[in-house]
Amino acid sequence: MGALRPKLIVGIGGSAGALNAYKALLDALPSNTGMAFVIISHMSPTAHSQLALILSRHTKMFVRVALDAMQIQANYVYVIPSNADLLIENYTFKVISPRTGRNKQEDVFFISLAEAMGKRAIGIVLSGYDGDGTEGCKHIKAHGGKTFTQDMSAEVDFMPLSAQESGCIDFVMPLDKIPEKLNCLAAALNLS
C-alpha cells in the first residue's frame, strides 16, 4: 500500500513546559486521524534529543525524527532534529542545518507549512517563553489554515499569550479538546 498523504499537517510548537503538553495531546489523539503531526521543540543545538522516543510512549502512531527528503505520511508524528530548521516542500521535509536562529524554529516551520499546505495547515502553540510561533500563526491564518493555542493550562504561558494577543488565533483550548476540533476541521475540508 502506498503512503497516505495527510488530510491536514499539524505543526505543534513549544518550549519550556511543553513536554507535558506534547504527551497530553498525543495521549488524547486517536492513532487514525489521517493527519500528520510535526513537533517543533526548542532544544540545545548540541543536544542528543530523546524526544521521539519519549513521545512514542504516548501514541500508537509512528514517531520519527524528521529527515531531509522524508515523505510526510498520515498517522505519523515527526519531531524536528536538533540544531535544524524544518521546512515542507510538496509533502516532504527539507532540513536546514545548522538552524538559522535561536528559538525561531516554530515561526520558520509554520511559515513554510502555511505556504506549502494553505487551508490544510494547522498551527498549535503550546507552553513556552518568548513569542516563537506568533509570526508563523499569522502566516497560517493568512493562507487559510487554522491556529490554536493551549489555554491557561500551559505551564509557561508566554508563547500562547503572545500568539493570542496577535489576533491570529482561531481556538484557545485545553489539550484534551483539541483532537475533537481537529477532526471537525478535517471533516469540513473533506466536504468542501
Asked if residue 172 is part of any domain, the answer here is yes
**For residue 18, what is the domain's CATH number?**
3.40.50.180
Asked if residue 63 is part of any domain, the answer here is yes
Asked if residue 101 is part of any domain, the answer here is yes
Cell representation of residue 134: 506568533
* Burial (Cβ within 10 Å: 0-12, 13-18, ≥19) of residue 92: middle
Comparing 20-29, 59-68, 100-109, 154-163, the range with the smallest average pLDDT is: 100-109
User: Which range of residues forms the domain containing residue 127?
Assistant: 9-191
Cell representation of residue 153: 493550562
Number of domains in the chain: 1
Asked if residue 48 is part of any domain, the answer here is yes
Give one word for 180, left, alpha or beta, with left for phi > 0 and alpha for psi -120 to 50. Answer: alpha
Q: Fill in the amino acid letter for 188.
A: A
Asked if residue 3 is part of any domain, the answer here is no
pLDDT value of position 57: 97
Q: What mean pLDDT comes out for the span 160-168?
A: 97
pLDDT value of position 192: 57
Helix (H) or strand (E) holding 190: helix 178-191
Asked if residue 116 is part of any domain, the answer here is yes
Say how far apart CA 63 and CA 116 lie, in whole Å.
22
pLDDT value of position 3: 63
Q: What mean pLDDT comes out for the span 4-32?
A: 95
Asked if residue 1 is part of any domain, the answer here is no
Q: What mean pLDDT comes out for the span 51-67?
A: 96
Q: What mean pLDDT comes out for the span 23-37?
A: 95
Say how far apart CA 106 and CA 133 lie, in whole Å.
5
Strand partners, 131: none
Q: What mean pLDDT comes out for the span 52-74?
A: 96
* β-strand pairing of 121-125 with 146-150: parallel
Asked if residue 20 is part of any domain, the answer here is yes
pLDDT value of position 45: 74
Say how far apart CA 187 and CA 164 lie, in whole Å.
25
Prediction pTM value: 0.96
Would you place residue 100 in the very low, low, confident or very high pLDDT band (cuts 50, 70, 90)? confident
Of residues 44 and 182, more confidently modeled: 182
Say which residues have a Cβ less than 8 Å from residue 24's Cβ, sequence separation at least 6.
175, 176
Phi, psi of 133 (to 5 degrees): 105, -25
**Residue 167 CB-half CA count within 13 A:** 1
